Amino acid sequence: MDASLKTGNIQLDRQLERWYPLMDHHVQLNLITAVKRGIRFPLVPAGRRSGKTERFKRFLVKQCNSVIGQYFAAAPTHDLLALTLSTTHSRKPNVSERIIYMDNGSEIHVLGLDKPQRIEGIPWTGGGIDEFADLKPEAWESNIYPALNTVNPTRPEYRAWCWLLGVPD
């Protein structure tokens, strides 16, 4: 990070460093506009170290800041605290429940889908699942897809989106 961008807050400066520049690829740029173009379930089959999870996490944080709602990440996401600049939040994250509370009212829930029922019961705004191919075979049809179609009574026309990330076989 450029020294002129330092805030003087050591924790915040460390979190800001997490927003290093990415090298853009046309396929990735198409991906980050998929939800805006009405694609609810963009499928991202890409090789290891391709940047798919990083792009997802950054997209998720930006969405949380622009569209208030409840979001989920079923991915290795320990660095979401840094990406959300959690040191600036008025409400501290609930580490044991793995929920990050954004100041605008949005929430990010970090989920493990070894028990796919964990995704049920919340009217999600959006999220993503890394290593999608490793889910239990019945998880999408029995738990995840119905949860993403749960109608939020305050936004009955809205349907949640979900990035589906994985390495092709």
- pTM here? 0.88
Q: How far apart are CA 140 and CA 119, in angstroms?
A: 11
Give pLDDT tens digits for 154-168: 899 999 999 999 887
Give pLDDT tens digits for 7-55: 888 999 999 998 889 888 777 788 889 999 999 999 887 777 778 888 9
Any idea which residue has 């990330």 for tokens? 165
105: pLDDT confidence band, cut at 50, 70 and 90?
Answer: very high
Check residue 31 and give its pLDDT.
86
Check residue 125 and give its pLDDT.
96
What is the pLDDT of the chain when averaged over all its residues? 90
Helix residue ranges per DSSP H, 67-128 = 80-83
Q: How far apart are CA 32 and CA 14, in angstroms?
A: 25
